[in-house]
Amino acid sequence: MNASVQQHKNIPGWLSFLLAVSCGIIVANLYYAQTLVGPISEATGLSASAAGLIVTITQIGYVLGLLFIVPLSDILENRSLSVGSLVIVVAALLVATFVRNSGLFLAASLVIGLGSVVAQILVPYATYLSSDEQRGRVVGNVMSGLLLGIMFARPVASFVASLLGWQAIFAISAVLVAVLALVLARVLPKRLPTHSLSYGQLVVSLGTLFKNTPILRRRAFYQACLFGSFSLFWTVVPLHLADEFGISQQGIAWFALAGVGGAVAAPICGRLADRGMSRVLTAVALIVAVLSFLLAILVQGHSFVALLLLVIAAITLDMAVSGNLVLGQRAIFSIGSEARGRLNGLFMSIFFIGGAIGSSVGGWAYSHGGWKLAALIGMILPVIALLYYLTERKPLGSKVEES
């Protein structure tokens, strides 16, 4: 079944749900280690100064996968590519479970990041199976699953580690991903792209796509700023909760669970975008992100009310980031079917770079100026995106939304 035939069908609800769950399970592997850096570095012999590599290497692997593996979805059969990559992820997760050598663990982390880009093959794959009229809803549903995976990963890893040790989360994930690979191999319809480019030409074409696609550049910049602020917040807030409120690791896990509520914005934004509200919703998302950090800056003391306001800021920030992500992907998926894998890979790699910058800047800011400096920088990022948004012009007569 080719892409052109699939494009005129409506994707079944059960398949949309399966793809959403799949993306959540896969992308969670990028975040399990974030709350477990301490015990992992101790067990593998990593020094305190090198412990941050546990997360950084995984993210580097993911960005490399976005740039060099995701483009393969535009020339190779998508189901086989996805299942084969998941098999590699299972092997890497098993290595991470049992190895005690820091070099091998970091190598496994790199491969986990590389293979986890399957989530970004499945998202555009879902759009091939859906009609134009339901594309926003489908992207919203699938991305809500992916975002739930991101948001649940940290607290789940903390809870599992407190009960069974840090290795358990990697073993459990290996089993889940193995089962997922079997299910996808059995139920996903094949999709063989029509193409005339070699792999080398595809990779080289990434630069051309970026240069010639203003929607991609604009939407990637918006999301890089928002994801940078998101990563900064979730890097720094555990330190702030422990220092200011005296909250334990388990308490921080419960706080992280509160942020999961923000994922509800993804399917809502997808449905509203299908009604032509992308431009308005983009502005709303950016403004909400700014106000979330403003609220976080104004939080004073360590009372229950202060903690409650911080929870509200976390939820609204997550809503802004998840909602704008769906708007961005819907916009770039409306450009052209045969380049969606590469467009999505570029989009995701750019905003993940923004996230990596946000995390590193957040750690520096907190150590030098505490919570207020970190939150101020976090607020500046969506302000910059909002100023750029004000320069946007929608071409008259255009049928493709640019925002």
Q: 97 vs 68, which has greater pLDDT?
A: 97
In the chain the domains, ranked by start, together with CATH numbers, are 3-389 (1.20.1250.20)
Percent of the chain at pLDDT > 70 equals 91
**Cα 193 to chain centroid, rounded:** 25
pLDDT of residue 161: 86
Mean pLDDT of 359-387: 89
pLDDT of residue 19: 93
d(CA 131, CA 52): 43
Q: 18 vs 52, which has greater pLDDT?
A: 18
The predicted-structure confidence for 215-264, as pLDDT tens digits, reads as follows 999 999 999 999 999 888 887 887 788 888 888 767 877 887 877 777 77
Mean pLDDT of 80-104: 95
Tokens of 111: 């491969």
pLDDT of residue 336: 62
36 CB contacts (<8 Å, ≥6 apart)? 157, 158, 161, 166, 169
pLDDT of residue 9: 60
Q: 94 vs 12, which has greater pLDDT?
A: 94
pLDDT of residue 402: 44
Tokens of 60: 């580097």
Summary mean pLDDT of the chain: 84
Mean pLDDT of 356-380: 86
The predicted-structure confidence for 321-333, as pLDDT tens digits, reads as follows 988 988 888 888 7
d(CA 90, CA 115): 9
The predicted-structure confidence for 63-91, as pLDDT tens digits, reads as follows 899 888 988 888 889 999 999 999 999 99
pLDDT tops 60 at residue 107: yes
pLDDT tops 90 at residue 183: yes
pLDDT tops 80 at residue 137: no
The predicted-structure confidence for 262-307, as pLDDT tens digits, reads as follows 777 777 887 888 788 889 999 999 999 999 999 988 887 788 888 9
pLDDT of residue 115: 95
> Within a 13 Å sphere around the CA of 24, how many CA atoms are in the beta-carbon half?
21
pLDDT tops 50 at residue 2: no
pLDDT of residue 283: 94
Closest CA to 230 of 385, 34, 367, 378: 378
pLDDT tops 90 at residue 46: no
Grade residue 396 by pLDDT with cuts at 50, 70 and 90: very low
pLDDT of residue 48: 57
pLDDT tops 60 at residue 398: no
pLDDT of residue 399: 41
Write the DSSP assignment of 314-380 as a string of letters.
HHHHHHHHHHHHHHHHHHHHTT-GGGHHHHHHHHHHHHHHHHHHHHHHHHHHHHHHHHHHHHHHHHH
Percent of the chain at pLDDT > 90 equals 35
